[in-house]
Amino acid sequence: MATQDSEWIFVDTVDALDEEDFMRFDHGGETYILYKVKGEMFATDGLCTHEAQHLEDGVLIGHIIECPLHQGRFDIRSGKCAGGPVCEHLNTYRVKIEGDKLFIEL
C-alpha cells in the first residue's frame, strides 16, 4: 500500500480499459496490473507471488485474478490469496480518475 512518500502516477486514459478488463503498467522497474470490474478500478502487483509469472496473461473471474502458469488466485480488492498454490498476498494500490486520465498511487 501507499506510504507518505507515495505519488500519483499517470497510467493512461480511462478508455484504455474496458469493463471486466485488465492491463499491465510498468513503472520504475516494477510491474503492475490495473483492473476495471463493475465500474470500479483496482490495481495490484503484476507478478504472481508464487513463481513470478506475469498476471497480464491470467484470467479475470469476477474480482479474482488467476495466474496463467499454475492458476493461483488472488482477490484484486485486497490482494489476498484466493486458492491454488499461492500463499503470499499481492500488494494492492489505489487508483483514481481525473478527467479522462487514470492514475495509480505508488
Contact set with another protein (CB under 8 A):
24, 26-27, 29-31, 46-47, 50-54, 56-61, 66-71, 73, 82-85, 87-88
64-81: buried (b, 16+ CB within 10 Å) or exposed (e) per residue?
bbbbeeeebbbbbeebeb
* Cβ–Cβ under 8 Å, residues 103 and 6: no
SS3 of residue 39 by DSSP: coil
Phi-psi region of 70 (alpha: psi -120 to 50; beta: other; left: phi over 0): alpha
List 54, 85, 89, 105, residue binding ligand FES (CB under 6 A): 85
Q: Minimum distance between the CB of residue 28 and ligand FES, rounded to whole angstroms?
A: 23
- Candidate segments 5-13, 19-27, 46-54, 88-96, binder of ligand FES by CB under 6 A: 46-54
Tell me which residues touch ligand FES (CB under 6 A).
48, 50-51, 53, 67, 69-70, 72, 84-86
